[in-house]
Homo-oligomer: A and B are copies of this chain.
């Protein structure tokens, strides 16, 4: 009875607070029409003070500013100083449908959410009775063609690592055939030695990024600083095409470059000293500097991996969930046979990988962990998928992206000393700066003007807006961008 009374009290307090929030929300949560920066630069003094405090407990040296997520709304992030910035970086490409999106807030405030948060099951041992239904209402609604099953994980690195595990177990089963494990395998594995712990590789591509835990990091080739001093498996790297822009001008050179890369891939799969279980590739190399390749190149990758009986994992952690103009970027390749696994995270706000039934290991409990995902995050993903569908956000991304590209291209002519190689799909756009120093200066000036943007690779500026970006937001961006470009020109090329 004490418990019952306490439950009543606490839930009634929560109800009252929610009503208060609802009242406050009505007063505040209207998306502004333009940014406002009230400090001399971003971060301002309140951000800096909060970061100094936080630095006692965590490493804050990569922080740009401190967010006030109660006040952020739609495409605008509000910081600790009260600056309101148009957000085109979106928590490293991971906010899909706006800050404090009403549908997401409603899902987050639903009593089912509270029960899910308060009672976290080990989903592989005691799954919740509504788990299958929730999977149907979230991930299954957007599963890529040919991939019936979904393995839920905690984040993008986790998704890739567990896909790698599925791949190497699949490889071993294929090689082993019907015989069981040998005594030698059972003993050697406890010492991390062959044949129980085999030498088998995941192939990845130059400048690819697949996460930062040990397995994922062995496939990551983005930057030395991501990898230095950390042991890595001796897994091979194939070349990713280095295309020249504009694509229509360099059609022949680019086709030759892609052909050369495919030949090298074929050569590595043919002759790598360590057997290769799977290849992993991003549809657009994101952390590596927004590097693109043609649909034909990716069809070639699928054809060659098939020829060598090597699995293909498409890493859609950053490209997935609509930003490239299709829900999954690899839909644009029109593959004759689907990839074997597709990993996701970031804008899905929940992580995992889609896979064929063949990727399930022969014995239970082998690709396994305690939580195997998180129901609250799946509830959020369900709301995201519904929001994208209801508002036709993938179509909107195409329209907004085309508008943005149309206006960026002339700027690359007019301000060619700063803006080159404008490229992208949907609103997943980018351009290159001449140096990383100029890029840093540009990004800082943009923040000071009220637009939050990010870099990728060494000299690239990447656009990672939400799917809810409209032409009006693009206009706001363009005004600030031109102003910043003029400032850069005045300073460096007066």
B-facing residues in A430-458 (Cβ within 8 Å) = none
**Does chain B have a CB within 8 A of A17?**
yes
**Does chain B have a CB within 8 A of A371?**
yes
Partner of A185, one of B50, B60, B171, B228: B228
Q: Are B125 and A63 in contact (CB under 8 A)?
A: yes
Please indicate the chain B residues that have their CB under 8 angstroms from the CB of A25 in the complex. 4, 7-8, 11
Partner of A57, one of B12, B132, B363: B132
A29-B7, A95-B120, A196-B224 known; A111 vs B17 contact (CB < 8 Å): yes
Please indicate the chain B residues that have their CB under 8 angstroms from the CB of A136 in the complex. 57
Segment among A229-237, A246-254, A292-300, A406-414 that sits at the interface with chain B:
A229-237
Residue-by-residue, is A189-208 near B (CB-CB < 8 Å gives 1, otherwise 0)? 11111001111110000100
Number of A interface residues, CB 8 Å? 159
Q: Are B164 and A57 in contact (CB under 8 A)?
A: no
**Does chain B have a CB within 8 A of A54?**
yes
Q: Are A106 and B225 in contact (CB under 8 A)?
A: no
Q: Are A196 and B227 in contact (CB under 8 A)?
A: yes
Q: Are A124 and B63 in contact (CB under 8 A)?
A: yes
B-facing residues in A69-105 (Cβ within 8 Å) = 69-70, 72-74, 77, 80, 91-92, 94-95, 99-105
Please indicate the chain B residues that have their CB under 8 angstroms from the CB of A118 in the complex. 99-101, 104-105, 107-108, 380
Residue-by-residue, is A327-358 near B (CB-CB < 8 Å gives 1, otherwise 0)? 00000000000000000011001000000000
13 A–B pairs (Cβ distance < 8 Å), ordered by A = A3-B31, A21-B111, A53-B132, A57-B136, A59-B360, A60-B124, A94-B370, A169-B230, A185-B224, A192-B235, A199-B231, A200-B229, A231-B233
